[in-house]
Structure 1
Amino acid sequence: MADPARELSKPDINPDCGSEDFCRDPWLVHVSSSGQNDTIHHLWGLHGSPSFLLAKTPVAAKLDVNWSKLTAEEELSVTFQPEPSHVFGLVFPHLILYNDTNDKGQLNRSEDATLNLNMSDFSWTIVDTEYANHTNGGWASVTFNTTAFRGTPLPNDTNLSIKMFGYGNDGRSWKIPKLMYTPTSAQMELLLHRLVLNITEEDLEMTSDDSISMNGYVNPRWALEMVVVSSEPVVHGQDEDEKDIQLHQSTSLDDENSPGVFHLDEMTTRQSRDHKGSGGYLQWRPVSYLSDEKDINDATEPNLDTLAPLPKPLTLPLRASLAYAVLGEKMFQGNLSLASTTVSFGQPGDGFYTESYFTSWTVAVGEGQAPVEGFSTMIIVVISLGVGIPLIIFIVGGAFIGYRKCRREPSLLGED
């Protein structure tokens, strides 16, 4: 059953920030998706550790930003009145460059040389916003691009970008891997294009020249550290298979929307799995692409490590995030549902990052229950024809044989 369409607002960049110099940076983009009973607030922030959140509030709730506190990276500087009933999202503390010594496609910290880059060291700007609203929903998007790393401008053809989409209705993205979306979800497209960094303790060199190695690594790959945050309370004493945030995979019977990919991966909170009308989820196809064409021949894999509790070293970068501005110190007191993991991009034999200097990955971030994949109209028609035509032939053929038999029996009786 489709979710009712919602009224989607235009992207509001740094709401009520004023004319201060820091208001030019993408501290906070706000998009609201208002329904009959509640409002979903999309909160996207690229200052510090990039954060992408959904806050569920009563319909009339108002966003309040204390800009002096937010720019000082203080907790609870972004609030709502009344408070949200649920907050869910993800934070990216580090981008990791590693040397995939054994060409496994997945980061192994005990074997691979690694270089952790604080995402807060990147400078970001908004290069594009789009908005379309209609009676049956609509959509809004914002594209964030990096401009510098540790104050050094990036080459013109280097592109580390994140494009966020918010929606006011159910549907499916027109861009491969064509993930489903709902009026309570967002989608993120991550792109690492010609991102070549050579870093030592003393200096930093950035170049797009293919002849330059990446930090001396022969087999370089990128990985992304990811923290999933939910305001749901932790359930203590749970079994290993009943973690508050779980990762699971489902199998699809067709690959119409993502050629060559027959699986769908999900990360869900307890309330989302229990169908309590709340909770949150991440959903993605286990595929990333090595070119903008997103052809099956240019596909590789995003490999996730096992979900783990929040390690203490992440406390500092998380305090420099929009998630901390919304949830505050509760993130570190063991009362909220948090999990950390690492997404490594690549698979054995794909030539490493320097083969194409291109990696893209798409993931959906949603409130409530994840949408369930079903057969498209075309697949249903094909299956119906495949089953129906032989069945019709069987029925017609059987009827014809029966008819012939019935016609012959009277003639045989007449001969007697």
Structure 2
Amino acid sequence: MADTTTWLGLLQIICTIHLCTGSSGSEPSLSKRNVTSTFNEGCNMTFCLKPNGSSYINLFHVTAKGENDTIHFLWSSYGALTGIVVRTTNDASLRIDWKMMEKKEIMKEQNAIRFLPKDSVLFSSAVIFSRLIDFNDTDDTASLSKATAMNVRLFENLSWDNFNLTIDHKKHQGRFVSPSLGNLSLMVQSFEDEGRGSLLPRLRHTSNSSYFEFALKNISTAYKQPRFAVEVILVGGDKQQNGTSFSISRSIADQYTPSVFYVDNINFANSNSSQGGYMSWKPVAYTEEERHLANGRMVHQYGLNTTSVGYVPSYSIAHAFYGNLSQLNLSSMNVSFGNDGDGYYAASNYLVWGGLIGYGEAPLDGLSMLILIIISAGLGLPALLILGGGSIICLKKLAKKRNYDKLMVDPGVN
């Protein structure tokens, strides 16, 4: 009876942990969306068709239409690399004033990018990749905060190739490529339904999310012990109306990515809505195009910092959409890559890191059943030992007592 009770208790522990960790078996499914994509939508100006100086004007618009709403993803290398997530009603349509876009100062004040009708926007947030940080790690700590020297490159100053040549409209993806520093690229992709990436770290995505993937190949550096970091600026709602606030959370997950046991999330909490947005990634990067456990490297994030508009890049599509960014909630975060003792960036001259931006709650993976059983066994084994040991002692005492009682009843027994 004791053993049965113990195993029932273990089963209860497994089920409780399984539910609390948000295991994928109990996750709600999201409806499928009809996804379409356009490039430089509605622009026939020379400004859009030929390089502006040495860089192409690239704006990739993905529309994911559902039953009750539409999620828009706007990605662009015009200025600083930027991704914008906009949730609208299904009757909303994108309008881009390309003449205004060409005049960088004007576009920041008069909303060159907007959705009509005006009240169709239900939620929006933006992620700006503002700076690439090249730092010298002479002490081999793999920590940006302990760098002995650093060189900062602004993404808005880089030149970009023609994004249109890389688009796969069936997969709703494309790649921004800059030859300015070597080969720096940002691949982006959106999805019609729930699924998972085919390559490590195999992030789980939904129709409400867009995947991004940075790759740094043969990037020039001035240092002998070089490592790289990326600065990310987060843009939220109107701070005068208690708009979006930002927070970092971490969820446990051991499935699909060997040796990586959690997912980092930045939550865009909107006071005017039950749901906000997110940026999500597993803290692992890879140093080879063929990814596996041996070439995985740690991704370090250094917390969120409140940011003033004076620190934000001078222009991007976030400026064109939001207008005056000083009226919005802004926060920044640095993310660096590498392990101590890994030979630095120079060991491979290649690094790739990916994540998600989206609307709603970040897709989560729970603990696998194997790990749950191991945890439960670890919790239950001491109880089994105590119960088993106690049972053996009781049985031995009972046997001795029976022998003693038998001797007392039959004294003639020798």
Specify the alignment match of 1:397 in structure 2. none
Task: Give the structure with the higher percent helix.
Answer: 2
Indicate conservation of the 8 Å contact 2:252/2:365, yes or no. no
Structure 1: how far apart are the matches of 2:245 and 2:194? 27
- The yes-or-no answer on 1:262 pairing with 2:256 is no
- The yes-or-no answer on 1:228 pairing with 2:264 is no
- The yes-or-no answer on 1:293 pairing with 2:299 is no
Structure 1: how far apart are the matches of 2:283 and 2:91? 38
Specify the alignment match of 2:39 in structure 1. 13
Structure 2: how far apart are the matches of 1:102 and 1:311? 32
How does 1:3-402 map onto structure 2 within 5 Å? 3-9=30-36, 11-24=37-50, 25-73=56-104, 74-75=107-108, 76-83=111-118, 84-108=121-145, 111-125=147-161, 126=163, 127-132=165-170, 139-147=171-179, 149=180, 158-196=182-220, 214-215=221-222, 217-231=223-237, 233=239, 244-252=245-253, 254=254, 256-271=255-270, 276-315=273-312, 317=313, 319-329=314-324, 331-333=325-327, 336-374=328-366
Q: Secondary structure of the equivalent of 1:244?
A: strand
How does 1:393-412 map onto structure 2 within 5 Å? none
1:344-391 Cα shifts (integer Å, max 9, x gaps):
111211111111101110011011111221367xx589969x99xxxx
Indicate conservation of the 8 Å contact 1:167/1:182, yes or no. yes
Give TM-score, length-normalised by structure 1: 0.75
Structure 2: how far apart are the matches of 1:225 and 1:82? 34
**Cα distance 1:234–1:244, how it changes in 2: closer, same or farther (>3 A)?**
farther
Indicate conservation of the 8 Å contact 2:125/2:268, yes or no. no
Q: Secondary structure of the equivalent of 1:350?
A: coil
Q: Secondary structure of the equivalent of 1:103?
A: coil
Number of positions where the alignment pairs a residue of Structure 1 with one of Structure 2: 336
Q: Secondary structure of the equivalent of 2:138?
A: coil
**Cα distance 1:353–1:292, how it changes in 2: closer, same or farther (>3 A)?**
same
Structure 2: how far apart are the matches of 1:3 and 1:234? 33
Structure 1 stretch 119-128 or stretch 18-27: which is displaced more?
18-27
Letter in 2 for 1:142: G
Specify the alignment match of 1:395 in structure 2. none
Letter in 2 for 1:343: V
1:61-103 Cα shifts (integer Å, max 9, x gaps):
1110001111212221101102422111210111111111322
**Cα distance 1:50–1:189, how it changes in 2: closer, same or farther (>3 A)?**
same
Indicate conservation of the 8 Å contact 1:265/1:285, yes or no. yes
Indicate conservation of the 8 Å contact 1:234/1:337, yes or no. no
**Cα distance 1:70–1:142, how it changes in 2: closer, same or farther (>3 A)?**
same
**Cα distance 1:234–1:300, how it changes in 2: closer, same or farther (>3 A)?**
farther
1:105 positional shift:
1.3
Structure 1 stretch 363-372 or stretch 303-312: which is displaced more?
303-312
1:232 positional shift:
5.7
Q: Secondary structure of the equivalent of 2:167?
A: strand
Give the fraction of aligned pairs with identical amino acids, expressed as a percent.
Answer: 27
Structure 2: how far apart are the matches of 1:381 and 1:299? 21
Structure 2: how far apart are the matches of 1:7 and 1:261? 33
Structure 2: how far apart are the matches of 1:89 and 1:120? 16
Indicate conservation of the 8 Å contact 1:86/1:232, yes or no. no
Indicate conservation of the 8 Å contact 1:14/1:23, yes or no. no
Indicate conservation of the 8 Å contact 2:177/2:183, yes or no. yes
Structure 1: how far apart are the matches of 2:198 and 2:373? 23
Structure 2: how far apart are the matches of 1:218 and 1:104? 14
Structure 2: how far apart are the matches of 1:363 and 1:166? 12
1:275 positional shift:
11
Specify the alignment match of 2:394 in structure 1. none
1:323-343 Cα shifts (integer Å, max 9, x gaps):
1110110x213xx33210111
